[in-house]
């Protein structure tokens, strides 16, 4: 039976980033992916690194989002150096567009909220914004300028992260579906993958939207809560389009409450997205395309004759409270890093840092209590008392 210090279930950006950090600690790490690693949500994303909340519930995410954005340049430098690949990390800021008679009020409210949360934001007139992005449409009634926001090409990033983790000694297995977790007593001791038992001191479940499809199998003693109790994750579909235009060249992200346009370095403009409860069906629909194009053409009407060069959809790992699930369970050796919903590209560096600290030292300096996998389980208080014991 093969054996590792840490098995990571899922080779998306979250799993790959955790592997990259743990491999630097000289741990023997394996990333197991049921398909080609990096081809699920992390491949489908727009790549905006936007720490501002998109709803009142999301305010609890802001400290983690700010920390992750702070870590990004250092994270990118380490990944690019180890992988020798570019990730197209770019910090050109975002114009958030408001329309209608209440545009300025809504913009001012957002700017005030951002300041309250310690995020940079400034009011700007649409004419001023057009000096930087001439394609900005006439419906813009007010603009919030968000100078700290950045973008990355998530497909390049996830490929680079996996290459960097491998370069540090991580074993990455494709086409290796984890069917079950293995337990001995009150400890998770490995996984069953494609009929093979693989042992590990620590198992990190980072399977994105698919965590619920992994079953728990108790060996020897005792029964354990189902994985779903720690990670009640559900898929939230997002459709996307890539456009190429001879007339519109963007440098900054343009966004409204209806959609966004994200420039890529190769000249493509990524237009998104929908938020749909469609199960695990990845599909692009006429309704989704219409919704994306309506928002895109309002932001930049000159895109009307752009070429649609690609269409795709992906599944965001959503959670009941819209917050990610990061940290130890109350079973020794079982960790969760999932549920990053709309922000997994942004949150990968901080998630990886927190997981590394916990697994290596048994604690994290970042207060991630709100993201605990135990918040969904009845055993929460008991487990919190035992938490210190679960670090390796
Ligand atoms: C349309 C869209 C736009 C987005 N835009 C942004 C954005 O602009 N900014 C941002 O920060 N975030 C964005 N996101 C969210 C972001 O993509 C996700 O939060 C993030 O990619 C989640 O990463 P992950 O590694 O947890 O999941 P995934 O990338 O989905 O990876 C999970 C991996 O687990 C594997 N797996 C599943 N089950 C098993 C199993 N049983 N055994 C082994 N492996 C398994 C899968 O094959 C997959 O490779 C967007 C998402 C979508 C869909």
Q: pLDDT (tens digit, 9 = 90+) per residue, 57-88?
A: 788 999 999 999 999 999 999 999 999 999 99
**Greatest alpha-carbon span in the chain:** 69
Architecture of domain 3-49+156-233+321-390: 3-Layer(bba) Sandwich (3.50)
Q: What is the pLDDT of residue 101?
A: 96
What ranges make up the beta strands (E) of the chain?
A: 3-9, 29-32, 48-49, 94-98, 122-124, 142-146, 150-151, 171-173, 178-184, 187-193, 196-205, 215-219, 234-244, 253-255, 260-263, 269-272, 307-318, 325-328, 334-338
Tokens of 48: 């905006």
222 alpha-carbon distance from chain centroid: 34
Assess whether the C-beta atom of 181 lies below 6 angstroms from ligand 1.
no
The DSSP annotation for 104-136 comes to HHHHHHHHHHHHHTT---EEE-HHHHHHH-TT-
Contacts of 383 (CB under 8 A, 6+ apart): 329, 330, 374, 377
pLDDT at 223: 52
- Any ligand 1 atom below 6 A from CB of 336: no
Average confidence (pLDDT) per 10 residues, the chain, 392 residues: 95 98 97 98 98 86 98 98 98 98 97 96 98 98 98 98 98 96 93 94 98 71 69 97 97 98 97 97 98 98 98 97 96 97 98 98 94 81 42 32
What pLDDT was estimated at residue 390? 33
Ligand 1 atom at minimal distance to the Cα of residue 47 = 8
User: Is residue 253 classed exposed, middle or buried when 0-12, 13-18 and 19+ CB atoms within 10 A define those classes?
Assistant: buried
Domain ranges of the chain: 3-49+156-233+321-390, 94-146, 234-318
Q: Which fold has domain 234-318?
A: D-Amino Acid Oxidase; Chain A, domain 2 (3.30.9)
Of 39, 41, 234, the one to substitute when testing ligand 1's pocket (max ligand atoms within 8 A of C-beta) is 41
Tell me the C-alpha distance between 239 and 261, whole Å. Answer: 13
pLDDT given at position 49: 98
Q: Candidates 15, 21, 36, 40: which one to mutate for ligand 1, based on the most atoms within 8 Å of Cβ?
A: 40
């Amino acid at each position: 039976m093969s054996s590792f210090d840490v098995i990571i279930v899922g080779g998306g950006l979250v799993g790959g980033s955790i592997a990259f950090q743990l491999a630097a600690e000289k741990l023997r790490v394996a990333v197991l992916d049921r398909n080609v690693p990096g081809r699920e949500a992390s491949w489908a994303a727009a790549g905006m690194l936007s720490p501002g909340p998109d709803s009142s519930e999301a305010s609890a995410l802001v400290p983690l989002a700010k920390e992750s954005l702070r870590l990004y340049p250092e994270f990118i430098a380490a990944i690019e150096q180890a992988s020798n690949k570019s990730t197209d990390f770019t910090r050109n800021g975002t114009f958030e567009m408001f329309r209608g008679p209440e545009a300025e009020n809504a913009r001012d409210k957002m700017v005030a909220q951002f300041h309250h949360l310690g995020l940079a934001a400034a009011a700007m007139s649409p004419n001023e914004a057009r000096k930087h992005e001439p394609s900005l449409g006439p419906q813009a009634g007010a603009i919030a300028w968000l100078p700290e926001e950045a973008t990355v090409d998530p497909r390049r990033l996830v490929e680079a992260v996996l290459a960097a983790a491998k370069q540090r000694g991580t074993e990455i297995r494709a086409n290796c579906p984890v069917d079950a977790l293995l337990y001995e007593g009150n400890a998770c001791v490995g996984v069953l993958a494609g009929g093979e038992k693989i042992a590990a001191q620590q198992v990190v479940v980072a399977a994105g939207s698919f965590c619920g499809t992994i079953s728990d199998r108790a060996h020897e003693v005792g029964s354990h809560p189902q994985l779903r109790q720690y990670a009640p994750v559900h898929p939230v579909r997002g459709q996307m389009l890539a456009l190429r235009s001879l007339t519109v060249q963007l440098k900054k992200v343009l966004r409204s409450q209806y959609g966004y346009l994200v420039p890529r370095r190769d000249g493509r403009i990524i237009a998104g997205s929908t938020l749909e409860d469609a199960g695990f069906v990845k599909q692009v629909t006429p309704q989704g395309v219409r919704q994306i194009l309506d928002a895109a053409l309002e932001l930049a009407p000159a895109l009307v004759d752009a070429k649609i060069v690609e269409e795709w959809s992906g599944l965001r790992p959503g959670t009941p409270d819209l917050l990610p699930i990061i940290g130890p369970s109350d079973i020794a050796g079982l960790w969760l890093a999932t549920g990053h919903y709309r922000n997994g590209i942004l949150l990968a560096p901080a998630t990886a840092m927190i997981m590394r600290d916990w697994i290596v030292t048994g604690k994290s300096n970042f207060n991630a209590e709100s993201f605990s996998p135990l918040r969904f389980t009845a055993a929460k208080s008991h487990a919190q008392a035992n938490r210190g014991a679960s670090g390796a």
